[in-house]
Amino acid sequence: MFFFIVRRFAVTVPILAASTFLVFGLVTISGDPLAQFRTSQSPNRDQIIAQARQRLQLDRSFPSRYWDWLKGVVRFDFGQNKGGQEVYPILKEALITTFRLVMLATVLSIIIGLVIGIISAVRQYSAFDYGTTFASFLFFSLPVFWLAVLLKQFGAIELNDYLERPTVSITAAVVVGVITGLVMSTITGGSWRKRAPVLAATAAVSTALLLLADSTDWIINPGLSPVAVGVLAAAAGVLAAMAFAPLTKRTVLLSGLASAMIGFVGSLLFSGWLDEPSWVDLGELLGMSLLVGLIVGAAVGGIERSSAIKAGMTATVLVGLVVVTDQFISAWSPGRTIATVGPQTPNIQGTFWERMIDYGSHQVLPSLALALIGLATYARFTRASMLETLNSDYVRTAKAKGLPATQVVLRHGFRTALIPVTTVITLSFATVIEGATITERVFGWSGMGTLFINGLSDVDPYPVMAFLVVVSVSIVALNAITDVLYAYLDPRIRNE
């Protein structure tokens, strides 16, 4: 496996060299870099041109300039743009901006896409399947900029109007409740006799929750009480256990629940710790959650140790998410929150969570635009891949030997189905970046895409090269990650 990865990297080095060389050449021949100086009216025009020629080293051949650039990049020196600024700091800024945009969108679209794909494969030809198929076709064939413009026009204005005075009318609560109920009942599947109670129960519960939230002013001043956190933590524990073993396996269930409870108690004891955290603190929280899950799982797991450890870790991470979400939503207050221009409010002050709210409100629309499109692709591919595995013999065997449906779907079906899906996800990364180029332009972010497009239109090779290096290096890294994931998902590769 190790040599496999090393070999893969060895192959990518010449590819990177060739593609950077080609792109450098393409940008160089794409136009006249001195065009803007030639039209200048100033009396010392010739001198300016001569200076620019000197600075851009235009009298040297482009392979030798490429060689210089290559030597620089190894030392993180990305050269200077046409205005004489160092590219590296600009790149760093742009990278952070785009990374924020793309990360949220990618994570959202992967999670939601996978879930939708699994459900629509399991309930093939149900209303849910047809609905999501239609919706994903709709989003799949959306021009990004059109979606972005629409979101900007409707999403921002309407949502902001709502967020200024957020209330839930009884009609709205009932409608939302019934819709949730309908969705849940189509997911449940089976005959109407089986589905009707699900519909009624879900509709009633969600309507009641909405009305409760409205009457207690929860929407204006959101947050989770310790009791709510406790209930959610227990649910997280059970869910985590269910994902990795049948609920009859007591040790796994115990591990999930115990880890979740430790997480919950921890959140009560150390609640002040999250009032003003740094990113490092949040990283530590994640590490500690994983550690607690690991220890609890190993301690109570017994013969089911590996499942118990996974369940424990999942449970604690879920609880951590609940706690962080609680902090996040508590920092929000009513107002015209959703922003449409730029990545953040300039010179933003305030606590960590207030800054997060500001980032989030700037980010929600562009990320949503990107996520909706990626989501459709992932849902389609997951569905197709799941259908293939669900119709295979070993899944039938698993059903026949009496395994619970969750186990059959998640461990026998989904795990195998993930193999082609991982490829699609990593391959589509380049598309996401390209989509981000357009989204950035619509929402006025200056990220990687802006760097690239401006470099392209100015015939300025160095910013374009910086963009290319980042994109190709991340593609190479993602490919390596895919290979590792393959080995994890497919034991045949691991044991080769």
Token pair for 460: 């300025």
User: Rounded to the nearest whole angstrom, what is the least distance from the CB of residue 394 to another protein in the complex?
Assistant: 15
For tokens 């990278």, the residue is: 95
Report the chain's terminal Cα–Cα distance, integer Å. Answer: 8
Nearer to another protein, 178 or 430 (CB): 430
User: Rounded to the nearest whole angstrom, what is the least distance from the CB of residue 419 to another protein in the complex?
Assistant: 13
433, 439 contact by CB (below 8 A): no
Residue ranges in 422-461 that form contacts with another protein under rule CB under 8 A: 430, 434, 437-438, 441, 452-453, 456-457
Nearer to another protein, 238 or 456 (CB): 456
| Among positions 1, 6, 15, 208, the unique one binding another protein when judged by CB under 8 A | 15
**Is residue 160 close enough to count as binding another protein by CB under 8 A?**
no
Q: How many residues does the chain have?
A: 496
Gap between the Cα atoms of 166 and 162, Å rounded: 5
Gap between the Cα atoms of 182 and 128, Å rounded: 9
DSSP state for residue 289 in the 8-state scheme: H
Q: Which stretch binds another protein (CB under 8 A): 18-26, 66-74, 281-289, 317-325?
A: 18-26
Nearer to another protein, 354 or 388 (CB): 388
Gap between the Cα atoms of 266 and 95, Å rounded: 35
How many residues belong to the site for another protein (CB under 8 A)? Answer: 46
**3-class DSSP state for residue 383?**
helix
| Among positions 140, 162, 328, 359, the unique one binding another protein when judged by CB under 8 A | 140
Token pair for 298: 């190993």
User: Rounded to the nearest whole angstrom, what is the least distance from the CB of residue 395 to another protein in the complex?
Assistant: 13
Token pair for 247: 């609920």
| Among positions 4, 5, 8, 16, the unique one binding another protein when judged by CB under 8 A | 16
**Is residue 319 close enough to count as binding another protein by CB under 8 A?**
no
Site string for another protein, 75-114 (x = CB under 8 A): ----------------------------------------
Q: Which stretch binds another protein (CB under 8 A): 29-37, 260-268, 272-280, 318-326?
A: 29-37
What amino acid is encoded at 110 in this protein? I
Q: Which stretch binds another protein (CB under 8 A): 75-83, 138-146, 247-255, 281-289?
A: 138-146
Q: Which stretch binds another protein (CB under 8 A): 14-22, 87-95, 274-282, 310-318?
A: 14-22
**Is residue 138 close enough to count as binding another protein by CB under 8 A?**
yes
What amino acid is encoded at 104 in this protein? L
Nearer to another protein, 14 or 491 (CB): 14
Query: What sign for the dihedral angle of Cα 188, 311, 372, 387?
Result: negative
Nearer to another protein, 254 or 436 (CB): 436
DSSP state for residue 334 in the 8-state scheme: S
Nearer to another protein, 233 or 421 (CB): 421
**Is residue 8 close enough to count as binding another protein by CB under 8 A?**
no
Residue ranges in 349-408 that form contacts with another protein under rule CB under 8 A: 384, 387-388, 391
What lies within 8 Å, CB to CB, of 91 at 6+ separation is 78, 451, 463, 466, 470
Quote the Cα angle for 203-139-385, to 5°: 85
Gap between the Cα atoms of 108 and 106, Å rounded: 5
Query: What sign for the dihedral angle of Cα 113, 114, 115, 119?
Result: positive
Closest to 62 (Cα-Cα) out of 15, 30, 89 = 30
| Among positions 137, 270, 273, 394, the unique one binding another protein when judged by CB under 8 A | 137
276, 227 contact by CB (below 8 A): no
Gap between the Cα atoms of 238 and 245, Å rounded: 11
**Is residue 34 close enough to count as binding another protein by CB under 8 A?**
no
Nearer to another protein, 299 or 424 (CB): 424
CA 224 to chain centre: 25
**3-class DSSP state for residue 276?**
coil
Site string for another protein, 456-475 (x = CB under 8 A): xx------x--xx--xx--x
Chain contacts with another protein (rule: CB under 8 A)? 11-12, 14-16, 18-19, 22-23, 26-27, 29-31, 124-125, 137-138, 140-146, 149, 153, 384, 387-388, 391, 430, 434, 437-438, 441, 452-453, 456-457, 464, 467-468, 471-472, 475
